[in-house]
Amino acid sequence: MFTYTVSVTTGNQEFAGTIDYVYLTLVGTERRSDRTLLDKSFFDRFARGAVVSIDVSVKETLGDILLVKLEKEKFLFNDQWYCRCISVKTPSGYEIEFPCYRWIANKQEVVLRDGKARLPQDEKNSLLKEHRRMELESRQQLFRWKEWHPGFPMSIDADSSNELPLDIQFELDKSVDFNLNFLTA
């Protein structure tokens, strides 16, 4: 039996926590773990700023950990969850950081790669190459540009900021500050 210790950190933003079900799958060079529910207790689960640690046990080693897959499902009502980062400690004691820094909505799957910076041409593993390609295609669909008026710079193709993903919208504090400054001006 091999045990991987996984620590999931929730952000400190307002409303960052969730009571929803969060599942995690570790993907290695040799195999992947089973889908594991990250659950401590109802009151302890993913509170704002909390770190939830759980052991993921597998019969055979996963190899080098390449990706972490997160899935969130509704418990009582739909709410957003801000995942700051995930840390995985392998059975050999090696620790890998998977930065997330994004809001995760209901029924959303997020696949994270480790925090090491690599150029696309330096990517050796075919699974990581495919993940990079799919992530690029997803971002190209999400962030489209349109011409607002001839001669002006291009603008993002959205009618309001509410159409944009939560990750790039202004947080409430920034929106209030921006609107107050706008009114003052």
Length of the chain: 185
Nearest alpha carbon to residue 64 among 107, 136, 138, 116: 116
Q: Are 61 and 3 within 8 A, CB to CB?
A: no
Handedness of CA 61, 65, 66, 71 (dihedral sign): positive
The answer to whether 17 is annotated as binding is: yes
Cβ–Cβ under 8 Å, residues 56 and 33: yes
- Read out DSSP for 101-158? EEEE-TTEEEEEE-S----GGG---HHHHHHHHHHHHHHHHHS-EE-SSTTSPPEES-
The owner of tokens 């820094």 is 101
11 is in an annotated binding site: no
List the binding residues for Ca(2+). 17, 39, 79
Q: Which residue numbers belong to the known binding site? A: 17, 39, 79
